[in-house]
């Protein structure tokens, strides 16, 4: 019947039925509780615009599904019948978050509402970074974490952050130079190793850190955010309209490989003059007269020198500031964010070079795009990718609570 048409659909072509309404309203309430914490029914009425009866029925359904509990409000002194407070139940609804970093491995159980219930992080030597060893370690850690959780707990999803380029369409790792991984179907393999039917979603760790900052960090509530994370390599996450920009296959946000100095030094990606070659840990250390692979200890020493006013350290930081500003200016012109968040090494360095970075941005970014941009260091330290992974794993439940629960329970 259908004459061949564009396989693409411009608008989300899908009819809406009554049950869609229910699902959307349940999702709205659960999101509200997950992101803004416990709220009384009357607060929910005010925030959603729904009526008392509708809220009553909706919250009732969430309670019945064991996602939410209702308790009498602590009297706050105002007149009128007290409104029961609805709160997410973290102990019974968790996601497992995994962070595959360069030299460590983290696993956490995060409860609905964003509470970290248990977490564990292990350093790992070079010989444990292979895919199989990583999966074995994760399985062991997950086992320990789960053993410590409440018996009635449900795992709603598993989110994984990996230092590398992740294909979001199939949860595979395309390439992770720091791990030596290449085209690994990591999501599928981990899911099989865990023996679960719960979905495993994999994403780039910088993207997840950005998500975490927007959900629960310094950028909470901001809708247009540029997150740049730098250590040895430099990555980033872009948030637009409050949601991550993934790009066609999930590779968006690789800001570390924007050419800022096309005749500069070679980058391990094969190009030359990538931003990463100018602001990465190696460049910073080298400029201060240190070995480029001195690691975290060398950075600590450098910053201590800067505190002490050692000229070599200050000079190195000044150059770092210039290149940091140059790259940020370009990205500000491209994205017009309301906030720029710097994580990792960059977040540590930024307080030392605050003025110089902003000056460089002023010099190079268009006044209109630059106006109102706030630049800050990350607030979430090293756990940001893990928190982001948990949020990613919560997403299906938040989008369609009862439908997702049904799917999980039937599949197990």
Partner DNA sequence: GCAAGTTTGTCATCTTCTGCGACAAACGTC
Partner DNA sequence: GACGTTTGTCGCAGAAGATGACAAACTTGC
**Which 372-391 residues touch a second copy, going by CB under 8 A?**
372-373
Site for a second copy in 240-269 (CB under 8 A): 240, 242-255, 257-262, 269
Which of 32, 50, 117, 245 touches DNA (CB under 7 A)? 50
Examine residue 55 and tell whether it contacts DNA (CB under 7 A). yes
Sign of the Cα torsion 283, 286, 291, 297 reads negative
Q: For residue 228, what is the enclosing H or E element?
A: strand 225-230
Which residues make beta-bridge pairs with 167? 172
- The interface partner of residue 56, options being a second copy, DNA, none and the CB cut-off 5 to 8 Å by kind, is DNA
3-class secondary structure per residue, 255-273 = HHHCECCCCCCECCCCCEC
3-class secondary structure per residue, 156-224 = EEEEEEECCEEECCCCEEEEECCCCEEEECHHHHHHHHHCCCCCEEEEEHHHHHHHHHHHHCCCCCCCC
Minimum gap (Å) between residue 70 Cβ and DNA = 9
Examine residue 62 and tell whether it contacts a second copy (CB under 8 A). no
Say what the alpha-carbon torsion angle 268, 274, 280, 284 is, to the nearest 10 degrees: 110
* Nearer of residues 49 and 151 to a second copy, judged by Cβ: 49
Which of 30, 33, 39, 45 touches DNA (CB under 7 A)? 45
Examine residue 60 and tell whether it contacts a second copy (CB under 8 A). no
- The interface partner of residue 52, options being a second copy, DNA, none and the CB cut-off 5 to 8 Å by kind, is DNA
Minimum gap (Å) between residue 42 Cβ and a second copy = 7
Q: How far is CA 247 from CA 240, 273, 399, in A?
A: 12, 23, 21
Which of 338, 356, 359, 407 touches a second copy (CB under 8 A)? 338
Examine residue 3 and tell whether it contacts DNA (CB under 7 A). no
Which of 159, 389, 400, 408 touches a second copy (CB under 8 A)? 400
Sign of the Cα torsion 266, 270, 273, 278 reads negative
Site for DNA in 76-135 (CB under 7 A): 77-84
DSSP string of 294-353?
Answer: -HHHHHHHHHHHHHHT-HHHHHHHHHHHHHHHHHHHHHHHHH--SEEEEEHHHHHHHHHH
Examine residue 177 and tell whether it contacts DNA (CB under 7 A). no
Site for a second copy in 182-201 (CB under 8 A): none
Binding mask 13-42 for a second copy (x = CB under 8 A): xxxxxx-xx-xxx-xx--xx--xx-----x
Examine residue 75 and tell whether it contacts a second copy (CB under 8 A). no
* Nearer of residues 119 and 174 to a second copy, judged by Cβ: 174
* Nearer of residues 41 and 370 to DNA, judged by Cβ: 41
Examine residue 13 and tell whether it contacts DNA (CB under 7 A). no
For 315, the token pair is 């000079």
162 contacts 176 by C-beta, under 8 angstroms: yes
């Amino acid at each position: 019947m259908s004459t061949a048409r564009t396989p693409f659909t411009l608008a989300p072509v899908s009819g809406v039925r009554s049950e869609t309404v229910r699902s959307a309203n349940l999702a709205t309430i659960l999101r509200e509780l997950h992101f803004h914490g416990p709220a009384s029914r009357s607060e929910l009425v005010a925030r959603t615009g729904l009526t008392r009866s509708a809220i009553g029925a909706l919250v009732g359904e969430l309670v019945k599904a064991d996602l939410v509990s209702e308790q009498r409000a602590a009297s706050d002194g105002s007149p009128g019948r007290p409104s029961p407070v609805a709160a997410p139940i973290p102990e019974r609804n968790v996601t497992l978050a995994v962070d595959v970093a360069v030299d460590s491995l983290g696993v956490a159980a995060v409860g609905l509402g964003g509470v970290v219930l248990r977490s564990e992080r292990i350093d790992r030597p070079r010989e444990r970074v292979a895919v199989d060893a990583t999966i074995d370690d994760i399985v062991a850690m997950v086992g320990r974490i789960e053993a410590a959780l409440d018996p009635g707990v449900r795992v709603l999803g598993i989110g994984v952050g990996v230092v590398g380029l992740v294909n979001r369409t199939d949860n595979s790792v395309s390439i992770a130079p720091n791990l030596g991984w290449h085209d690994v179907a990591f999501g599928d393999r981990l899911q099989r190793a865990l023996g679960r039917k719960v979905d495993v979603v994999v994403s780039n760790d910088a993207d997840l850190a950005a998500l975490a900052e927007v959900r629960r960090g310094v950028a909470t509530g901001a809708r247009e955010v540029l997150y740049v994370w730098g250590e040895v390599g430099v990555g980033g996450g872009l948030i637009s309209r409050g949601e991550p920009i993934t790009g066609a296959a999930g590779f968006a946000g690789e800001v570390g490989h924007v050419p800022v100095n096309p005749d500069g030094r070679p980058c391990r990606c094969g190009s030359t003059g990538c931003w990463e070659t100018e602001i990465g840990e190696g460049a910073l250390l080298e400029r201060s007269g240190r070995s480029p692979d001195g690691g975290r200890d060398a950075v600590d020493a450098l910053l201590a020198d800067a505190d002490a006013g050692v000229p070599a350290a200050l000079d190195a930081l000044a150059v770092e500031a210039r290149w940091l500003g140059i790259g940020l200016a370009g990205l500000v012109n491209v994205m017009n964010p309301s906030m720029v968040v710097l994580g990792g090494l960059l977040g540590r360095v930024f307080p030392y070079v605050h003025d110089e970075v902003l000056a460089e941005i002023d010099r190079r970014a268009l006044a209109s795009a630059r106006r109102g941009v706030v630049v800050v260091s990350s607030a979430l330290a090293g756990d940001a990718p893990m928190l982001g992974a948990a949020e990613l794993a919560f997403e299906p439940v938040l989008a369609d609570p009862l439908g997702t629960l049904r799917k999980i329970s039937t599949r197990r």
